[in-house]
Amino acid sequence: DAGVTQSPTHLIKTRGQQVTLRCSPKSGHDTVSWYQQALGQGPQFIFQYYEEEERQRGNFPDRFSGHQFPNYSSELNVNALLLGDSALYLCASSLSGGFTNEKLFFGSGTQLSVL
Amino acid sequence: AQTVTQSQPEMSVQEAETVTLSCTYDTSENNYYLFWYKQPPSRQMILVIRQEAYKQQNATENRFSVNFQKAAKSFSLKISDSQLGDTAMYFCAFMKRDSGNTPLVFGKGTRLSVIA
């Protein structure tokens, strides 16, 4: 059973460009959350998708947007990249219903470098 | 808003010894979960141990145990018989207990080095 998979593993972009990161959740999971982990920091919640809709959002600007597909996979898009967007982007999946979000499974992340 | 504080940026321990990582948090919630996650160089966040705030008994998972002090809002992780594979970043995290999926709030982490 594959866990949470993310692609690409590494990415280099320049300021002002746009980037798309991808995540496939663990088999059987229907909810995907995205976190940003800057160097030397803990992960920060960006947003969460369930039933193809954004359900919750952290304190991130509108340049950060996402999408969830019918097969539950998800994309994170960042427009007008800034140097400060350089970070590890982690995807986590879970199964909705009840108090199940404590059983989060994380991917290995995409390391984004903005030059 | 909840905050999680890890006051030890780095720690080291000799192999086979015991080490304790500290975590404090601030919340007005009464029902919540607390977690310790391990992040090795592979970057994947791995759940080490989980504690439900409504349970008084401290959680244990093999060599890992916690000291949960709800009134003091303290949640430390004890690693016994430390192994080289325990070398990693360790993050303390808080989650409000609610129906539906609530986000994790992480501390800044503690880098643990296990020395042979």
Say if the Cβ atoms of A108 and B44 lie within 8 Å: yes
In the predicted model, what is the mean pLDDT of residues A48-67?
Answer: 94
Per-residue confidence (pLDDT) for residue B34, from 0 to 100: 95
Please report where in the chains the tokens 């949960």 appear, as a residue: B68
pLDDT score of A114 more than 70: yes
Per-residue confidence (pLDDT) for residue A2, from 0 to 100: 73
Phi/psi of residue A22, nearest 5 degrees: -125, 150
In the predicted model, what is the mean pLDDT of residues A25-40?
Answer: 94
In the predicted model, what is the mean pLDDT of residues B50-56?
Answer: 90
How many Å separate Cα A103 from the centre of its chain?
Answer: 17
Say if the Cβ atoms of B100 and A107 lie within 8 Å: no
**How many CB pairs lie under 8 A apart between chains A and B?**
64
In the predicted model, what is the mean pLDDT of residues A23-49?
Answer: 95
Write out chain B residues lying below 8 Å of A44, CB-based: 106
Please report where in the chains the tokens 């019918």 appear, as a residue: A70
- pLDDT tens profile B59-79: 999 999 999 999 999 999 999
Share of chain B above pLDDT 70, in %: 97
Share of chain B above pLDDT 90, in %: 85
Residue A23 pLDDT grade (very low, low, confident, very high; cuts 50, 70, 90): very high
Angstrom distance (rounded) from CA B81 to CA B65: 12
Chain B CA closest to residue A108 = B44
In the predicted model, what is the mean pLDDT of residues B82-93?
Answer: 97
Per-residue confidence (pLDDT) for residue B112, from 0 to 100: 98
* Average model confidence (pLDDT) across chain B: 94
Residue B102 pLDDT grade (very low, low, confident, very high; cuts 50, 70, 90): confident
Instruction: Fill in the DSSP letter of residue B63.
Output: T
Per-residue confidence (pLDDT) for residue B1, from 0 to 100: 83
- pLDDT tens profile A82-108: 999 999 999 999 887 655 555 789 999
The answer, for A102 touching chain B at a CB cutoff of 8 Å, is yes
Closest chain B C-alpha to A46 CA, distance in angstroms: 9
- Find residues 6-45 of chain A whose CB sits inside 8 Å of chain B: 31, 33, 35, 40-45
Angstrom distance (rounded) from CA B113 to CA B116: 10
How many Å separate Cα A12 from the centre of its chain?
Answer: 17
Say if the Cβ atoms of B109 and A98 lie within 8 Å: no
pLDDT score of B100 more than 70: no
pLDDT score of A1 more than 90: no
* Average model confidence (pLDDT) across chain A: 93
The continuous run of DSSP H or E covering A98 comes out as none
Peptide bond into A8 cis (omega under 30): yes
In the predicted model, what is the mean pLDDT of residues B95-108?
Answer: 85
B114 or A56: whose pLDDT is higher?
B114
